[in-house]
Amino acid sequence: MTTFDSRENAFEAKFAHDADELFRLHARRDKLLGHWAAEKLSLTGTAAEAYTAALIETDVAAAGDATVVKQLIADLAPHGVSADAVHAAVADCLVKAAQQLGAI
C-alpha cells in the first residue's frame, strides 16, 4: 500500500467518523427538542415519546434543520410559543447535546 492509499483511507475514515458524530449530535438534539416541545404541548408518557420519535424521524427523512424547526413552530404556535423561542430552544438543545456527547 502506498502512502497515498494510506492517506486516502485515513481521510475516508475521518469523514465517516465525522458524519456519524454529526448524526448522533442531531439525533440527541432532536430528542432533547422533542422532550422540550412535548412539555410545551402538555404531552406525557408514551405520547411524549411518540412525539419525540416523530420529530427525530422528520429530521432523518428530510435531512435538515429547517424542516424540524418548521414542524416545531407549526405545532407550538397554537400553544403560545413563538418562533424565536423555538430557535432559542434549538440552539440550547444543540449545546446540551454536544455536552452530553462530550463534543465540547
Confidence category of residue 1, pLDDT binned at 50, 70, 90? low
Instruction: Say what the pLDDT of residue 17 is.
Output: 67
Q: Is 43 left (phi over 0), alpha (psi -120 to 50) or beta?
A: beta
Query: Which triple of cell numbers denotes residue 74?
Result: 407549526
Answer whether residue 50 shows pLDDT above 90.
yes
Q: Which three cell numbers stand for residue 35?
A: 422532550
CA separation, residue 90 to residues 1, 4, 26, 60, 85 (Å): 45, 41, 10, 16, 9
pTM above 0.85, yes or no: no
